[in-house]
């Protein structure tokens, strides 16, 4: 018998080598208690959370929690069904209404996760004769959406407007084209030049899909994302988003204006052949989305936090993913996986949780300590965080 | 439209800046195994080839191309009629 798992031997070996040095496994952390959006107990220790994507801190919002409890009481623990059979409750329609209001768009379709939203929309709308033109640094869910479908896939260099334009011009003018971009790229926290790129796409007759997972609720005047901030949201055909970041629960969605959009509910397999979100989840999401519409003060504080952490880390001597803070993600570049893992553990010992990100999730083989701020991090916490980075950085030799 | 010899010569020229191992490149040379290119190197190289020949080599096509000779064949087809 051939052991089908043998193909993972190199990865097993790499993990064994890393863990045999006595390091804590960075991919097996357990949170024993969660006190708030910014604090949890890990290994018995009070830990500041700086890697949760809980940008707007909605997970413990009293209105959000109350809505979830009420739905649990009134509608039970789950739908046990597909959206197109027995899995659409009033709550699912209500959260879709909240999304339509939030984005001021005509259609909203809610999926069970953000991953499934990309998987479903991308694989369904681009057929065999169509072309998908995508940024090379696109998220795994976008690539998997391409792999599930049959379209011709054309990647272009990250955030390179000219590379995108050249490729669009080389494609047959009559062919169907879908350009896939992200508002904020989650690994380095950099923002796409959507204003220029969307204009190039429209000139080439391409439809545009923008994944705004990491910008919803935070970027743009009304929190609609980078496309709003750069004034091109009306030219975007599909916006993909998630409930598992600023909204503070789980689920994914697509909002859109094209009139034929609703037919996707019948032909999109990752929407049809899976159970819908539990009533408590859609109730918390709808409540949270409506509160996010009116959160300008929190947005301002999150920007302040991001700017202060970015400047402070640079001052300490860390290399960062962007020269200026462009989002609530700040990526600290590590020289290699071993140093990255050691620094990650030193930070955890100090009482700080960040994400350790490594290839293949990262571009150019980088190892990153990815920090994502929350609007509920206090000024004092940001100060504490900088102190922990200083101590851990010196202990591991990352900074002098 | 360029003939196959021309395409091969130009392709070999485009490979050289990425031939960090100093491999003696022939039509049988494999990009992944012999040149040991990672996905980012492939992207850079493919972008240069696309610009040089004014074509698109989709990821679907790339999946079928393992050797230099196969790339030249693909370019021969893509540039036919140009």
Residue A275, CA distances (Å) to A191, A204, A248, A266 in order: 33, 38, 20, 14
SS3 content of chain B, % helix, strand, coil (to 5): 55, 0, 40
Any idea which of A7-21, A162-176, A240-254 has the lowest mean pLDDT?
A7-21
How does pLDDT run across A287-343, given as a tens digit for each residue? 999 999 999 999 999 999 999 999 999 999 999 999 999 999 999 999 999 899 999
Residue A6 Cα, gap to closest chain B Cα (Å): 20
List of chain A residues whose C-beta atoms are within 8 Å of the C-beta of residue B56: 154, 167, 170-171
Beta strands in chain A (DSSP E): 31-36, 39-42, 45-49, 107-111, 131-135, 152-156, 177-182, 184-185, 190-191, 207-211, 238-242, 252-256, 329-334, 352-353, 355-357, 367-372
Question: Measured on CA atoms in the order B11, B12, B16, B20, is the torsion positive or negative?
Answer: positive
Give CA–CA dist A390/B53, Å, rounded: 51
A143 touches chain B (CB under 8 A): no
List of chain A residues whose C-beta atoms are within 8 Å of the C-beta of residue B55: 170
For residue B23, what is the DSSP state? Answer: -
Which chain A residue has the Cα nearest residue B78? A170
Mutate to test the interface with A, among B41, B46, B47 (most CBs of A within 10 A): B47
B47 touches chain A (CB under 8 A): yes
Which pLDDT belongs to residue B80?
86
Are the Cβ atoms of B40 and A166 closer than 8 angstroms?
Answer: no
Nearest CA among A379, A215, A386 for reference residue A312: A386
Which pLDDT belongs to residue B82?
67
Task: Choose the closest CB to A163 out of B47, B54, B60.
Answer: B47
List of chain B residues whose C-beta atoms are within 8 Å of the C-beta of residue A365: 38, 40
Q: In sequence order, what are the residues at sequence separation of 6 or more whose Cβ sits closer than 8 angstroms to the Cβ of residue B54?
A: A170, B82
Please give the domain boundaries of chain A with CATH numbers for all domains: 18-56+296-395 (3.90.1150.10), 62-292 (3.40.640.10)
Task: Choose the closest CB to B43 out of A146, A155, A167.
Answer: A155
Mutate to test the interface with B, among A127, A130, A153, A175 (most CBs of B within 10 A): A153
Whether the pLDDT of residue A360 is over 80: the answer is: no
Whether the pLDDT of residue A357 is over 90: the answer is: yes
Residue A169 Cα, gap to closest chain B Cα (Å): 10
Nearest CA among A65, A62, A57, A63 for reference residue A37: A57
Any idea which of A14-18, A216-220, A307-311, B45-49 has the lowest mean pLDDT?
A14-18
Burial B48-81 (b: 16+ CB within 10 A, else e): ebbeebebbbbbebbeebbbbbbbbbbbbebbee
B64 touches chain A (CB under 8 A): no
Which pLDDT belongs to residue A190?
97
Residue B67 Cα, gap to closest chain A Cα (Å): 20
Percent of chain A with pLDDT over 90: 93
A222 or A365: which leads in pLDDT: A222
Mean pLDDT, rounded, for A12-38 = 90
List of chain A residues whose C-beta atoms are within 8 Å of the C-beta of residue B60: 152-153
Nearest CA among A245, A243, A248, A247 for reference residue A276: A243
CA dihedral A302, A304, A310, A316 (to 10 degrees): -130
Are the Cβ atoms of B60 and A153 closer than 8 angstroms?
Answer: yes
CB pairs under 8 A between A and B: 31
* Class at the top of the CATH hierarchy for domain B4-19+26-79: mainly alpha
Are the Cβ atoms of A152 and B58 closer than 8 angstroms?
Answer: yes
Mean pLDDT, rounded, for A339-356 = 95
Which pLDDT belongs to residue A25?
84
List of chain A residues whose C-beta atoms are within 8 Å of the C-beta of residue B47: 156-157, 163
List of chain A residues whose C-beta atoms are within 8 Å of the C-beta of residue B54: 170
ipTM: 0.90
- Stretch (H or E) spanning B55: none
Mean pLDDT, rounded, for B49-60 = 94
SS3 A239: strand
Mean pLDDT, rounded, for B59-75 = 95
Mean pLDDT, rounded, for B6-15 = 96
Which pLDDT belongs to residue A28?
86
Residue A107: phi and psi, rounded to 5, are -130, 150
List of chain B residues whose C-beta atoms are within 8 Å of the C-beta of residue A179: none
Are the Cβ atoms of B59 and A155 closer than 8 angstroms?
Answer: yes
Which pLDDT belongs to residue A23?
82
How distant is the alpha carbon of residue A331 from its chain centre? 14
Give CA–CA dist A59/A213, Å, rounded: 16
Are the Cβ atoms of B56 and A154 closer than 8 angstroms?
Answer: yes
CB atoms within 10 A of CB B17: 10
Residue A329, CA distances (Å) to A226, A238, A306, A310, B22 in order: 14, 23, 8, 9, 40
Whether the pLDDT of residue B4 is over 80: the answer is: yes
Beta strands in A9-136 (DSSP E): 31-36, 39-42, 45-49, 107-111, 131-135
List of chain A residues whose C-beta atoms are within 8 Å of the C-beta of residue B44: 157
Mutate to test the interface with B, among A161, A167, A179, A204 (most CBs of B within 10 A): A167
Whether the pLDDT of residue B1 is over 80: the answer is: no
Residues 210-249 of A with CB under 8 A from B: none
How does pLDDT run across A153-212, given as a tens digit for each residue? 999 999 999 999 999 999 999 999 999 999 999 999 999 999 999 999 999 999 999 999
Q: Average per-residue pLDDT in chain A?
A: 96
Which pLDDT belongs to residue A19?
87
A155 touches chain B (CB under 8 A): yes
List of chain B residues whose C-beta atoms are within 8 Å of the C-beta of residue A166: 50-51
SS3 A152: strand
Q: What is the band of A363 on the pLDDT scale with cuts at 50, 70, 90?
A: confident
Tell me the domain boundaries of chain B.
4-19+26-79
Q: In sequence order, what are the residues at sequence separation of 6 or more whose Cβ sits closer than 8 angstroms to the Cβ of residue B67?
A: B27, B28, B29, B30, B31
Which pLDDT belongs to residue B40?
81
Are the Cβ atoms of A154 and B59 closer than 8 angstroms?
Answer: yes
């Amino acid at each position: 018998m051939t052991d089908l798992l043998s193909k993972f031997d190199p990865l097993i070996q790499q993990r064994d080598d890393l863990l045999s040095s006595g390091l804590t496994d960075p991919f097996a952390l357990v949170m024993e208690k969660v006190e708030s959006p910014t604090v949890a107990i890990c290994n018995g220790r009070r830990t500041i959370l700086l890697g949760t994507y809980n940008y707007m801190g909605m997970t413990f919002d009293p209105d959000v929690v109350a809505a979830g409890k009420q739905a649990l009481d009134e509608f039970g623990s789950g739908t046990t069904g597909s959206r197109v059979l027995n899995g659409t409750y009033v709550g699912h329609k209500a959260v879709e209404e909240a999304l339509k209001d939030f984005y001021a768009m005509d259609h909203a379709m809610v999926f069970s996760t953000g991953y499934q939203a990309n998987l479903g929309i991308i694989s369904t709308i681009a057929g065999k004769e169509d072309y998908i033109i995508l940024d090379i640094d696109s998220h795994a869910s976008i690539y998997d959406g391409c792999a599930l479908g049959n379209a011709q896939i054309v990647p272009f260099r990250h955030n390179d407007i000219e590379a995108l334009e050249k490729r669009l011009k080389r494609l047959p003018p009559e062919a169907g084209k879908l350009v896939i971009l992200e508002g904020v790229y989650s690994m380095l926290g950099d923002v796409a030049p959507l204003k220029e790129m969307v204009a190039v796409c429209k000139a080439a007759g391409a439809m545009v899909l923008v994944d705004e997972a990491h910008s919803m609720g935070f970027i743009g005047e009304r929190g609609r994302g980078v496309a709003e901030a750069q004034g091109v949201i009306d030219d975007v055909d599909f916006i993909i988003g998630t409930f598992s970041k600023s909204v503070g629960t789980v689920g994914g969605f697509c909002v859109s204006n094209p009139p034929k959009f609703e037919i996707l509910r019948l032909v999109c397999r990752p929407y049809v052949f899976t159970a819908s979100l539990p009533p408590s989840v859609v109730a918390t999401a709808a409540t949270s989305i409506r509160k996010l519409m009116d959160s300008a003060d929190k947005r301002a504080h999150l920007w302040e936090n991001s700017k202060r952490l970015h400047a402070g880390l640079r001052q300490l001597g860390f290399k960062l993913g962007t020269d200026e803070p462009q989002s609530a993600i700040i990526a600290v570049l590590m020289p290699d996986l071993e140093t990255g893992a050691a620094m990650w553990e030193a930070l955890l010992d100090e009482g700080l949780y960040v994400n350790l990100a490594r290839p293949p999730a990262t571009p150019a083989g980088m190892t990153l300590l990815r920090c994502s701020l929350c609007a509920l991090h206090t000024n004092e916490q940001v100060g504490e965080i900088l102190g922990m980075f200083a101590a851990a950085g010196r202990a591991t030799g990352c900074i002098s | 439209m360029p003939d196959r010899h021309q395409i091969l010569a130009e392709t070999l020229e485009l490979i050289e800046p990425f031939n960090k191992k100093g491999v003696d490149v022939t039509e049988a040379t494999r990009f992944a195994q012999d040149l040991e290119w990672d996905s980012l190197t492939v992207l850079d190289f493919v972008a240069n080839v696309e610009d040089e020949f004014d074509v698109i080599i989709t990821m679907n096509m790339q999946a079928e191309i393992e050797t230099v000779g196969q790339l030249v064949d693909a370019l021969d087809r893509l540039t036919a009629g140009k």
